[in-house]
Amino acid sequence: MLACTCVVGGFAAASAGAQTAIYGEFTAGKIPAANTEWMYGPTVGLYHDNGLGLVAYGYDVRGSFLRRGDTNGSDSNESLTTFEGGLRFAVTPHVLPVKPYVEALGGYGGLTAGQGTVRTSASHFTYQFLGGVDFTFFPRLDWRVVEFSYGGLSGLGSSYDPKTLSTGLVFRLP
């Protein structure tokens, strides 16, 4: 009976610090490959954190939809679309209105990049390592000040490792 009480009490304590949020970001992405330009678009997602005092852990699921259309008559139409999920760790100091976080995500991504003979169009497993800082400015609304990610698409080699920079809004659900 005592063991059951401890487990239930521990679960209640961990759930007491739980937080779910939805977010939308403006993202700029670059693939360091020949004949590619910056791509822009939205990133949307949902995360859930469980608090353990100063440190929170949880998961994040997101989708990014970056594009660069034909702006110079070269029929470039580059795009990077990803759907990923993974682990999230955040520091919640409670005395400051900021929350730095790091994440490791994996999923599925499609890339169309380059021009002419170096044009690539493929869909593969994708991964991202990212970090950022959220700033609380209303009780349930945060500004995602900055988020940087480094990722890759397996099977395409090291020349297709996208890097992104994002900013946006986070709405923490009641």
Q: Which CATH number fits domain 18-172: 1.10.8.100, 1.10.580.10, 3.30.460.80, 2.40.160.20?
A: 2.40.160.20
pLDDT, position 74: 52
How far CA 147 is from CA of 32, 45, 103, 172, in Å, comes to 19, 13, 11, 17
pLDDT, position 36: 77
Token pair for 71: 């702006």
pLDDT, position 41: 97
pLDDT, position 13: 40
pLDDT, position 152: 87
The pTM is what?
0.83
What is the rounded (10 degree) CA torsion for 65, 69, 74, 78?
0
> Do the beta carbons of residue 59 and residue 47 sit within 8 Å?
yes
Residue ranges per structural domain of the chain: 18-172
pLDDT, position 154: 79
pLDDT tens digits in sequence order for the chain, 174 residues long: 444 433 333 333 444 578 999 999 999 999 887 777 899 999 999 999 998 889 999 999 999 999 986 655 555 688 999 999 999 999 988 889 999 999 999 999 998 877 766 677 788 899 999 999 999 999 999 999 999 999 988 766 555 788 999 999 999 998
Instruction: Give bridge partners of residue 132 from the DSSP assignment.
Output: 101, 147
Kindly report the length of the chain: 174
pLDDT, position 123: 86
Rounded Cα–Cα distance for residues 84 and 76 (Å)? 25
> Do the beta carbons of residue 31 and residue 112 sit within 8 Å?
no
Please write down the HEC assignment for all residues of the chain.
Answer: CHHHHHHHHHHHHHHHCCEEEEEEEEEEEECCCCCCCCEEEEEEEEEEEEEECCEEEEEEEEEEEEEECCCCCCCCCEEEEEEEEEEEEEECCCCCCEEEEEEEEEEEEEEEECCHHHCEEEEEEEEEEEEEEEEEEECCEEEEEEEEEEEEECCCCHHHCCEEEEEEEEEECC
